[in-house]
Structure 1
Amino acid sequence: MGAILNALFAVTIIFFTISSPTHGYDPLDPFGKIIIKWDLLQSLPGHHTVQVTIENKQEYRHVEKPGWKLSWHWENKEVIWGMTGAETTEQGNCSAFAASDNLPHCCLRRPTIVDLLPGAPYNMQVSNCCRGGVLTSMSQDSINHVSAFHMTIGSFPDEDTGEFIMPYDFDIGVPGYTCDNATSVTPTKFSTNKGRHKTQALATWEAVCVYSQFRSSQSPKCCVSLSAFYNQTIVPCPVCSCGCSSSHCVKPGETPPYLEQKHDPDEEVSPVVQCTKHMCPIHIHWHVKVNYREYWRVKITATNYNTMKNYSDWNLVVLHPNLKSVQQVFSFNYKSLTPYHDGINDTGIFWGVKFYNDVLLQAGEIGNVQTELLLKKDMGNFTFREGWAFPRRILFNGDECVMPSPDDYPRLPSSASSSSSFSSSVVSFDTILFCFLLLLLLA
C-alpha cells in the first residue's frame, strides 16, 4: 500500500511540474509554438535567395505591438544584399564594399529584422508581410497569424563563397519566448497557377520558439475577483497579486509627467498601473448573476488599470466544467478549446467583436469590456455549493491570472437553494463510495 501511495505522490508532483507556467509546456495548448521556417529558393555561388516565414501556431497567445524582432547569428561573414517584406534595424559596417556600385542592405554578424508597416510600397511587399510584426492567435484569426519576407544573401569579399549555411541562435524579440536552433525538415512545396503546378524549395529548415510566463515577467499580469447573487460578499483580488511596489502607480486624478513624455513605438512600455490593493494591469471579475430553472447566467468584466497601454485583439481563456453547455455569449466571440480531442470540453476562449470591443482601452472610465453568458444546467454535476460556479483558471492574453483562495469563494447561505440539492446528493454518494473503496484497500 505504501508503494502505491508513493507512486501516486510522484505522479502528482510530475503533473504539477509540467503544468507550471515557468516551463514552456502549456497543458491548455500542448502543441502551441512559433515556428521560424527558412526555405532556400535559389542557391548560386555567393548568391542565395531565401524565404523566411514566422507562423504563430498557438491557440490563444498572440504577438501584439510593437511586434516581433527576429535576430540570428551568421555562421560565417554573410551579408544581406536585399530584402522585401521586412527590413533590418541597422545596416552595420559595409566599408568592405566601398568600391561596389551598391552597398548591401545589412553587414551585421547578428542582424535584427522587423516587419514592414501597413502601407509599405507595393514593390517592397510580399505575401503575409507588412503588419508591423503583429501575429494573431490561431483561434482568433486563421489568416493573420503568419508573417513572411524574402532575402538575398551573399558574403564579404574575402570569404569563400560556397553552399548556404543556416544561421543559429535565433530570437524573435518578444518577452517570454526562447528558440532552439534550426533543423532540416522536408522541403516546402509551393502551389502556382491556382494549384495546377507545384514547385519545391531546394532545402527547408525550422526553428521552434516556445513561451514561458515566468521568462516574460516574474510578476503576474492579471488577477480575478468573484461575486454571486446569493452572497453579499465580493471576494477581491488577493492583495499584491502583481507585486506591492507603489513607486510606479497612479493615484486617481493624477497624471505624472512621464505619462506625457514621448515613447519609442518600437519598444514595449513598462506598465504604469492605477494604485490598487492588487496592483495588476488587468482585473477580471466573474459574477454569478441569475439562476433560472434550466439555465444560469454569468457576467464577466475585464478592466484595464494600465495607464500606458491599449490591449488590441485581447482574449480571455476560461477553465470551467460547465463550458461544455454554453448556450449563448453576448457581445464577445467564443470558441471551445479541446486540445486533446478526447471529448473534454471545459475550456473556452473569449475575445472582442471586431470594431466594437476588440480593443481594451487604457485605464479610465471606458477602460473595460464585459459580456454575459448563458449556460445550461447539467443536473448530473450542477451545483452552487462549494464554489463550483466559479472558474478554475482564467488567462488574459495567454498569461495566468491570480485567483482568490478557494476557501474565500462566495458560499451559499445555510438554506441552500433546491437547485443544487440533487448534485449535492450525487457528490455525497461519490464520497461515500470512495471512502468505502479506500477502507477495502487499507484492510
Structure 2
Amino acid sequence: MNLWKVVISLTILLSTASTGQTQDDTTGDSTAPPPAANDCNGFFLSYTFISREKEYPHLKNASAQPWAFKSVASILNTGKLELKAWKMFIGFHQQEILVSAGGGVLLDGNDFPASVGVNGTYIGGYPQTDLKTAIDTANDLTQIQARVEFKGTQFGLRAPGVPMPKTIKLENDGYKCPAPTRHGKSSMYACCVRNPKLKGKNVTTKYTPRQKADLTMSYDILTAYGNNYLAQVELQNNNPLGKLDHWNLTWEWQRGEFISSMRGAYTHLKDGSGCIFGAAGQQYQDFDFSQVQNCEKKPTITDMPPDKANDDKLGKLPYCCRNGSLLPTTMSKDKSKAVFQLQVYKISPDTSRIDLYPPANWKIVGTLNPSYKCSQPIRVDPQEYPDKTGLQEITRAIASWQVACNITRPKLRNNRCCVSFSSYYNDSAIPCSTCACGCENAKKCNQHAKAMLLPTEALLVPFSNRSVKAKAWAKINHFRVPKPLPCGDNCGVSINWHLNSNHKSGWTGRITLFNWEDINFEDWFVALQFKKSGKGFQKAYSFNGTMLKNPNNTIFMQGVPGMTYLMAETNGSKPGDPRIPGKQQSVLSFEKRFTWGLKVSKGDGFPSRVYFNGEECQLPKDIPTANGRRRRVNIVMIVVLVVTDFLLLRNQV
C-alpha cells in the first residue's frame, strides 16, 4: 500500500512538472509575442510604454516639464516570407528626444540624442536586419523577432497620462498596415500584410538587391580571422551633378571595434589611448596600442594626398590618394570612385570569424559640396573583384554591405553659394538674397530686409565694401534704404547671370563665378538648368559646355585646360583696398529655332536652378524688369569725344 502511494505521488509530481514546462514555453518568456499575434499572417508590430519619471528641472508648467521614459517596439514575422532590411515607422509626437535605441538604429543616420517628436522616426534593425520565418527556424524567436528598447525624454503630458505614438507601421515596399489597435493605455499593435495588388519583384540575389543612389558606399570584408578582419570601402559617385572636394567620412562603431591600420586613407586622430583605457585594453593586454591607427567610436576618415599613391605602406591601391576629390561621371569616370582599406579588431563576444558587423550612421561631407543623407548599411551579395593574377576568374568578398546616399536640397538660408541676376535692359543688378548662406551674427544688420539693388560693378567687391555704393545707388534711383541695412549673403561662392542680348534668332547670356573663400577650387564645374530655353544652347565661349540629357535642359560647364582652378580670394593691390575674389567668366549663346515663343526678358532667359560643384545655389526671388532705370546714350557727347580724339591724334602726327 505504501508502495502505491509513492508511485501515485511521483506520477502527480511528474505530471505537474510537465504541465509547468509547457506553459513556460508558450507564455513564460518575457520576449514572447502577445496572444493577438496568433491571428496575424504577416508581420506583427507592437509598441509598449514601460515607465517614465520626472526629470530635472522640475517645473510648474506641465507642458514644459521633461520626463524620462522607457518603451519597447517589436516586430515579429508571423508569415511565410522572409523580410530583409526591415524598416518600421513610429509616429512620436510628444516632443520626444531619443537617447538610445538598443537593438535598432535611426535610418536617417542622425546621432543620439535625436529629436523625433514632430515627424516621428524610422527604425531599422541592428545587428538583426533580417527577419526569417518560423518555418525555417523552428519558431526561434531570436531569428524571427526583433526588439528595440528606447530610452528618451518627452514633454508636455501631465501624469498619469501615457505618451503613446500616433501610429506604428511597416515601411518596407509591398506591405500595407491598418491603423494600430490600442491595448489598454500603454500598448498598441498592428498586423501588416503583403499587398496582394502589388506584383512581387523577381529577386535573383540572396540578400537585398543593391540600391541606386547619388552616392553609394560599400563595406566589403576581404579576409576574416577570429578577432580581426580586413575591410575595403569603396565610394562611387553616380550623380552627374554630384561632387566632393576633400571628403570627410564618419561612421559609428557599434560593438567596440577599433582600427589597427589603414591604406589609401587615414583618420584625423591617431591615438591608442581610447583602446588602452577601454574594453579593448582589457581583452588585448599584450597588444601594442602605440601603433594603432584609431580607437574612437566615431572616427573621421579622409583621403590620402596624391604623393602617397605609390607608397608601399599607405598607398598602392586603385582609385586611392586623390586628396578627397570625387568627380561626377560627366567629368571623369575614373575619378568618380575612391577606395581605401582598414584592418579592424573586434572585442568579445565577437571572437569568431563569422561575427562580422559593419559600422553604422555613415555621413560624408565635402568643402563646398551638396549635402548627402545616407541609409544604414544593408547586407548585399558579396562584391566581386577581378583576380589579381590576371586569370579569368572572379574573387568574391566574404561579406558586403551597401550604404546608399542621396543629395538633399538645401534648406532656406542654408546654402553655400548664391546667384545674382542682371541684364542689358536694366542698370540695377539684383544681388544674392539676404542671408542666403545663413546669418550667424545679425545684431548690426537686418536679416529680414530685402537685398538692395546695386550697380553691376558693385558685384566685384566684397559685401563689407558695398554699403557706400548701395546707398549712393539708392539715392540716385530714389530707392528706399532699409534701417538697419540688410545683412550680406555670407556665401563662399557667388555666381552672376547676366542677360547679355536678345534678338530675333537668338540671345546670349554671361556667367561670372566669384570665389570669396581662402581656398582654390580644383576641377570646378557649374551647371545651369532652364525650364524652356536650355534646348537652344549653342556654345560656351570660355568654358567647356555640354548639354546634359539628365537632368533635362541642363548645361554643364567646366574650365578649359589650364583654367580648371577657381582661385581663392586675394588681397587688393594696395593696403586698404578691397579684397579681390577669384573670378572666371564666359559668354553663352542660344538659338530660338527649337524654342519658339520664348519670353527671354520675362523669365525664360534666366536659369531656374544653378549648381556649383554639385551644391545647389540660392536664386533671387526676382528678375530684372524691362521698366528699370537705364543709362541714356548721349549722342552729342559721343560726337565731341570722337572729334577730340581725332584732333589729338592729328596734333601728335
1:68 aligns with 2:248: yes
Query: Following superposition of structure 1 onto structure 2, how do residues 328-347 of structure 1 map, counting pairs within 5 Å?
Result: 328-339=539-550, 345-347=552-554
Correspondent of 1:221 among 397, 409, 416: 416
1:202 aligns with 2:413: no
Q: State the structure with more CA Rg.
A: 2
Correspondent of 2:286 among 69, 88, 99: 99
In the aligned structure 2, how far is the partner of 1:243 from the partner of 1:220?
A: 7
Correspondent of 2:535 among 324, 327, 330: 324
Is the 2:251–2:359 Cα contact (8 Å) retained in structure 1?
Answer: no
Percent identical residues: 24
Higher RCO (CA-CA < 8 Å; seq separation 6+): 1
SS for the counterpart of 1:371 is strand
Correspondent of 2:318 among 127, 134, 137: 127
Matching residue's letter, 2:621:
S
Correspondent of 1:83 among 241, 262, 268: 262
SS for the counterpart of 1:124 is coil
Is the 2:421–2:624 Cα contact (8 Å) retained in structure 1?
Answer: yes
Query: Following superposition of structure 1 onto structure 2, how do residues 26-425 of structure 1 map, counting pairs within 5 Å?
Result: 32-65=213-246, 67-75=247-255, 77-88=256-267, 89-93=269-273, 94-95=275-276, 96=281, 97-100=284-287, 104-120=292-308, 121-125=311-315, 126-156=317-347, 160-174=351-365, 176-192=371-387, 193=389, 196-214=392-410, 218-243=413-438, 245=441, 251-252=464-465, 277-306=488-517, 308-320=518-530, 321-339=532-550, 345-362=552-569, 364-365=579-580, 367-378=582-593, 380-406=596-622, 408-411=623-626
Which stretch of structure 1 is more off in the superposition, 153-162 or 188-197?
Answer: 153-162
SS for the counterpart of 1:123 is coil
SS for the counterpart of 2:323 is coil
SS for the counterpart of 2:535 is helix
In the aligned structure 2, how far is the partner of 1:165 from the partner of 1:157?
A: 12
Matching residue's letter, 1:376:
E
Deviation at 1:251, TM superposition (A): 3.7
Deviation at 1:188, TM superposition (A): 1.6
Which stretch of structure 1 is more off in the superposition, 219-228 or 196-205?
Answer: 219-228
Deviation at 1:134, TM superposition (A): 2.5
| CA deviation vs aligned residue, 1:229-262 (integer Å, no higher than 9, x gap) | 3444433334444445468987449xxxxxxxxx
In the aligned structure 1, how far is the partner of 2:248 from the partner of 2:596?
A: 47
> Kindly tell me: are residues 225 and 292 of structure 1, through their superposed partners in 2, closer, same or farther at Cα, counting changes over 3 Å?
same
Matching residue's letter, 1:377:
K
TM-score normalised by L of structure 1? 0.69
Which stretch of structure 1 is more off in the superposition, 142-151 or 83-92?
Answer: 83-92
> Kindly tell me: are residues 167 and 330 of structure 1, through their superposed partners in 2, closer, same or farther at Cα, counting changes over 3 Å?
same
In the aligned structure 1, how far is the partner of 2:217 from the partner of 2:488?
A: 41
Is the 2:227–2:347 Cα contact (8 Å) retained in structure 1?
Answer: no
Matching residue's letter, 1:368:
K
Is the 1:87–1:115 Cα contact (8 Å) retained in structure 2?
Answer: yes
Deviation at 1:277, TM superposition (A): 4.7
In the aligned structure 1, how far is the partner of 2:612 from the partner of 2:520?
A: 14
Is the 2:512–2:583 Cα contact (8 Å) retained in structure 1?
Answer: yes
| CA deviation vs aligned residue, 1:330-370 (integer Å, no higher than 9, x gap) | 12122333337xxxx31122222343143242264352111
> Kindly tell me: are residues 108 and 382 of structure 1, through their superposed partners in 2, closer, same or farther at Cα, counting changes over 3 Å?
closer
Is the 1:91–1:106 Cα contact (8 Å) retained in structure 2?
Answer: yes
TM-score normalised by L of structure 2? 0.49
The match for 1:23 is none
Deviation at 1:74, TM superposition (A): 3.4
Which stretch of structure 1 is more off in the superposition, 50-59 or 194-203?
Answer: 194-203
Gaps of 5+ in 1: 1-29, 254-274, 414-443
In the aligned structure 2, how far is the partner of 1:305 from the partner of 1:100?
A: 49
Matching residue's letter, 1:90:
K
SS for the counterpart of 1:119 is helix
In the aligned structure 2, how far is the partner of 1:180 from the partner of 1:242?
A: 26
| CA deviation vs aligned residue, 1:142-192 (integer Å, no higher than 9, x gap) | 221221112223334786334142233233342733322211112222123
In the aligned structure 2, how far is the partner of 1:400 from the partner of 1:101?
A: 47
Deviation at 1:101, TM superposition (A): 6.3
SS for the counterpart of 2:335 is coil
Is the 1:387–1:411 Cα contact (8 Å) retained in structure 2?
Answer: no
In the aligned structure 2, how far is the partner of 1:383 from the partner of 1:209?
A: 38
Matching residue's letter, 1:225:
S
Is the 1:91–1:105 Cα contact (8 Å) retained in structure 2?
Answer: yes
SS for the counterpart of 1:318 is strand
In the aligned structure 2, how far is the partner of 1:380 from the partner of 1:250?
A: 39
Matching residue's letter, 1:348:
I
| CA deviation vs aligned residue, 1:402-442 (integer Å, no higher than 9, x gap) | 33334x433379xxxxxxxxxxxxxxxxxxxxxxxxxxxxx
> Kindly tell me: are residues 195 and 237 of structure 1, through their superposed partners in 2, closer, same or farther at Cα, counting changes over 3 Å?
farther
> Kindly tell me: are residues 309 and 105 of structure 1, through their superposed partners in 2, closer, same or farther at Cα, counting changes over 3 Å?
closer
Is the 1:68–1:174 Cα contact (8 Å) retained in structure 2?
Answer: yes
Which stretch of structure 1 is more off in the superposition, 234-243 or 391-400?
Answer: 234-243
In the aligned structure 2, how far is the partner of 1:108 from the partner of 1:384?
A: 56
SS for the counterpart of 2:320 is coil
In the aligned structure 2, how far is the partner of 1:41 from the partner of 1:49?
A: 6
Deviation at 1:372, TM superposition (A): 1.0
Number of equivalent positions: 354
SS for the counterpart of 1:335 is strand
The match for 1:266 is none
> Kindly tell me: are residues 375 and 194 of structure 1, through their superposed partners in 2, closer, same or farther at Cα, counting changes over 3 Å?
farther
